[in-house]
């Protein structure tokens, strides 16, 4: 079954993914003599840098979700289709989706990235990632559920575990989330839960490398660490998380952190559709491209990213 895209004399560009890269490219081509097909599983764009605000109840999901059709309502050369990509047949220039197939002259893969648990299944099963609005809401609900459970517990050890939070990954997401939770602990939670003693709540930020924000400047790293320490965040650098069991976050040095909430922000891996994954991808499932962002070996398939 086709996706009901009209055939024209125009060259067809299929863009997979309505994230920052996909949106920017489609908007840049709005005046071109091309037929553009934008494929995404959602009918909205998610502003990922503010997921941590949704997770900590600072913003509602509607504040960071923008309808695709409203964004592009004045773009006449665009067809939007909501579906999942099943397979890419590069030999036949065909994108296979759950709704049908669509041919392309040029294909742009802007599928972004997903959480990388580095093969640690116990971590994947127990931790809370934050790569979608749904995951951010799940994180918010899980934390509040733990506080409600702490209200009815008479076991000091269990209460400590329910209040504590371990964030793994000292990049921008982990740093922002740790700061937001620390501010909630001081200004919001004592008012919402006056029966709980949030002075006993511990927030740990665990980073495997030697510094926070290691991809940024040394000044940014040191200022972020100083700010979080002032808020009372326990920063552990040079520490790797190896597992999670019985409410204990296991560390490579044999120690553990007791916490019911484990948030994973420690890494990403590329989202390569079937047909490209394995053949045209490298470390971290990242799609391999040349200096013009063409996928190596496929001149009519490009990778778009920010």
pLDDT band of residue 287 (cuts 50, 70, 90) is confident
Distance from the Cα of residue 250 to its chain's centroid: 23
Residue 303 has pLDDT above 90, yes or no: no
pLDDT at 38: 97
For the segment 241-276, what is each residue's pLDDT rounded down to a tens digit? Answer: 999 999 999 999 999 999 999 999 998 888 888 998
Lowest mean pLDDT among 102-111, 118-127, 276-285: 276-285
How many whole angstroms separate alpha carbon 201 and alpha carbon 204? 10
Full DSSP string of 245-289:
ETTEEEETTS-EEE-SEEEE-S-EEE-PPTTTTTTSB-GGGPBPB
Distance from the Cα of residue 116 to its chain's centroid: 10
For the segment 121-162, what is each residue's pLDDT rounded down to a tens digit? Answer: 989 999 999 999 999 999 999 999 999 999 999 999 999 999
Percentage of the chain surpassing pLDDT 70?
99
Full DSSP string of 169-188:
--SHHHHHHHHHHHHHHHHT
Catalytic residue among 60, 92, 148, 176: 176
Residue 298 has pLDDT above 90, yes or no: no
For the segment 65-79, what is each residue's pLDDT rounded down to a tens digit? Answer: 999 999 999 999 999
Q: Is 195 a catalytic residue?
A: no
CATH number of the domain located at residue range(s) 121-264 in this protein: 3.50.50.60
pLDDT at 1: 53
pTM comes to 0.88
pLDDT band of residue 283 (cuts 50, 70, 90) is confident
pLDDT at 129: 93
Q: According to CATH, where is 3.50.50.60 located in the chain?
A: 11-112+271-303, 121-264
CATH number of the domain located at residue range(s) 11-112+271-303 in this protein: 3.50.50.60
pLDDT band of residue 305 (cuts 50, 70, 90) is low
Q: Integer distance in angstroms from the first to the last C-alpha of the chain? A: 33
24 and 306 in contact (C-beta within 8 Å)?
yes
Tokens of 31: 């005046």
pLDDT at 187: 94
A 10 A CB-CB count for 32 gives 12
């Amino acid at each position: 079954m086709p996706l009901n895209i009209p055939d024209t004399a125009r060259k067809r560009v299929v863009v997979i993914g309505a994230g920052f890269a996909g949106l920017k490219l489609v908007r840049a081509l709005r005046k071109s003599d091309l037929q553009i097909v934008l494929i995404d599983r959602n009918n909205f764009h998610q502003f990922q840098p503010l997921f941590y605000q949704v997770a900590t109840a600072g913003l509602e999901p509607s504040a960071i979700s923008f309808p695709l059709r409203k964004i592009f309502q004045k773009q006449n050369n665009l067809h939007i289709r909501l579906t999942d990509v099943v397979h890419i047949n590069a030999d036949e220039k065909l994108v296979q989706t759950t709704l049908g197939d669509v041919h392309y002259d040029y294909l742009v893969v802007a599928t972004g990235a997903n959480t990388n648990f580095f093969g640690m299944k116990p971590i994947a099963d127990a931790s809370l990632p934050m790569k979608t609005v749904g995951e951010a809401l799940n994180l918010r609900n899980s934390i509040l559920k733990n506080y409600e459970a702490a209200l009815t517990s008479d076991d000091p050890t269990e209460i400590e575990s329910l209040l504590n939070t371990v964030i793994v990954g000292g990049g921008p997401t982990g740093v922002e989330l740790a700061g937001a939770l620390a501010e909630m602990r001081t200004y919001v939670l004592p008012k919402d839960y006056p029966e709980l003693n949030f002075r006993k709540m511990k927030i740990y930020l665990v980073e495997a490398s030697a510094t926070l924000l290691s991809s940024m400047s040394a000044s940014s790293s040191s200022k972020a660490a100083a700010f979080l320490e002032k808020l009372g965040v326990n920063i552990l650098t040079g520490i790797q998380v190896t597992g999670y069991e019985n409410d204990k976050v296991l560390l490579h040095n044999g120690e553990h952190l007791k916490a019911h909430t484990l948030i994973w922000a420690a890494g990403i891996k590329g989202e390569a559709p079937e047909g490209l994954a394995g053949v045209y991808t490298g470390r971290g499932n990242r799609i391999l491209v040349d200096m013009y962002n063409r996928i190596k070996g496929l001149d009519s398939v490009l990778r778009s990213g920010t």
